[in-house]
Amino acid sequence: MRHSKALLLLVGVLYSSSTTFASVSTSVNQQSLNQQGLNVSSSYQQKSSQQAAEWGLTTEEWNRYTALMAGERGVWSPNLDPLTTLGIEAKTEAEKIKYARMLAERFRARVLKEIEFDKIYRQEYEKMFPEETAFAVEPHISQSAGRVIYFTRLDSCDSCKTDLGKILNHVNSQTPIDIFIVGDNVSDESIRKWAKENRIDASKVQRKLITLNHDNGYWFKYSFGKMPAAYQVKGDGQWQALTY
pLDDT at 136: 52
pLDDT category of residue 151 using cuts at 50, 70 and 90? very high
C-alpha 101/C-alpha 136 separation (Å) is: 36
Q: What are the extents of the domains in the chain?
A: 64-134, 148-241
pTM: 0.45
Summarised one tens digit per residue, pLDDT across range 176-226 is 899 999 988 889 899 999 999 999 988 888 888 899 999 878 887 777 778
Could you tell me which residue, 1 or 204, shows the higher pLDDT?
A: 204
- DSSP-assigned states of every residue in 73-88: HHHH-TT--HHHHHHH
Tell me which CATH homologous superfamily contains domain 148-241.
Answer: Glutaredoxin (3.40.30.10)
Average pLDDT over residues 66-84: 92
Summarised one tens digit per residue, pLDDT across range 33-58 is 555 555 556 676 788 889 999 999 99
List alpha helices for the chain, DSSP H. 2-54, 59-69, 72-76, 82-88, 93-128, 158-170, 188-197, 202-206, 218-223
Computed over every residue of the chain, the mean pLDDT equals 79
